Structure 1
Amino acid sequence: MDRTHTRFRNDDRAVSITVTHVITLGITAVLISGLMLGAGSLLESETERSAEGSLKTIGERLSGELSDADRLATEDDDKVTLRTSHPQRVASSTYTVELYDECDEPDAWMIREYEDENENEIKDSCLKLSADNEDVTVFVPVSANVAEDSEARGGSIEIVSTGDEGVSIQNV
């Protein structure tokens, strides 16, 4: 009996198959983990890009609507109220719209004061759109007389223009 036990101790014929399977499973697990991590970061960057594109589109539409309301209220006693409908969410995140009379945010370097065709100085008014769950902020210039800084959540937004005082935004 002693002799048989010694004979099996020196037998290593099946060891190479077992070691091969263990190494193959280990390499497969590492590769799958790497793919999952890569796919997660790709999805996150695509979500941010989608949110940024959506916020730019909403901001440009809202900027045009602010200009329209400002043009419609031409007299001192005119009051124009526009109710606009925009998406409530962008990239599965709610967002905030802020209207600034003077856009002095450091990230809004592209928005500057300018003069119109009659050499009237136009303030550097802007919209700041920020997604709540994403690290995305977009600035859009506004070519309207802004009454005061105001803020609204995404969705239905009311634009109020009071003639010479200018425009403001609020939630409906």
Structure 2
Amino acid sequence: MTGRTPDSRRLRDDTRSVSITVNYALNLVVATMLIGGVLTATGGMVQDRRESAVRTELSVVGERVASDLMAADRLAEVGSAGPGTDPTVSISVTLPERVGGTRYDVSIRTSPAVIVLRSDTPEVTVRVGFHHDTPVEETTVRGGNLRIELAGDGDVEVVAA
């Protein structure tokens, strides 16, 4: 007699407890892979939507700045038409400090006449053209409240308010 009982042989061949543990572990791995795949797939879509939203908001901000810049240009032209008068032009422009949750810069360029808006994260650049007869100073300011003024030298300039 070897000392083995029929019960010990039955327990040694029983793999049910291992099957439950392995089955549970495999289910966890599959669920983790599925969740990871979903997050990876939707992460790129969220980034694309954010870039699109920032681009749209920057376009709107650029149009507002261009409109006010052209209005200041017209006011400077009309004001300088009078003999012996110094024109005073000052337009306050209320803009958001952030678009799509990110900071942005407003750059005024004159050759060609374009306003370049550039966000930090995500990096999005939008260009909006404008027309001017009065000389405009090239500058770059941080997004937020701005002031468009006629400087002492007769140039229109954009400054942070």
| Fold similarity call, TM over 0.5 | yes
1:160 aligns with 2:137: no
1:135 alignment partner in structure 2: 123
Q: What is the CA distance between 1:39 and its match in structure 2?
A: 2.7
Counterpart residue type for residue 59 of structure 1: G
1:50 alignment partner in structure 2: 53
Q: What is the CA distance between 1:166 and its match in structure 2?
A: 4.0
Give the alignment of 1:1-172 within 5 angstroms: 2-3=4-5, 4-74=7-77, 75=80, 77-102=86-111, 124-145=112-133, 146-161=135-150, 165-172=154-161
* Partner SS state of residue 44, structure 1: helix
* Partner SS state of residue 2, structure 1: coil
Give the total of aligned pairs: 151
* 1:85-124 C-alpha deviation (Å, 9 max, x unpaired): 011110111111010011xxxxxxxxxxxxxxxxxxxxx2
Distance 2:129 2:108 in 1: 10
Distance 2:16 2:54 in 1: 59
* 1:53-88 C-alpha deviation (Å, 9 max, x unpaired): 100000011101111110011117423111110111
Flag structure 2 segments of 5+ consecutive residues without an equivalent: none
Counterpart residue type for residue 4 of structure 2: D
Larger radius of gyration: 2
TM-score by length of 1: 0.77
Greater relative contact order (Cα 8 A, min sep 6): structure 1 or 2?
Answer: 1
Runs of 4+ residues over 6 Å off in structure 1: none
Please tell me whether the aligned partners of residues 70 and 163 of structure 1 are also in contact (alpha carbons under 8 angstroms): no
Higher fraction of helix: 2
Distance 2:48 2:11 in 1: 57
Name whichever of 41-50 and 54-63 sits farther off: 41-50
* 1:108-153 C-alpha deviation (Å, 9 max, x unpaired): xxxxxxxxxxxxxxxx200011112321111110112442211221
TM-score by length of 2: 0.82
Q: What is the CA distance between 1:165 and its match in structure 2?
A: 4.3
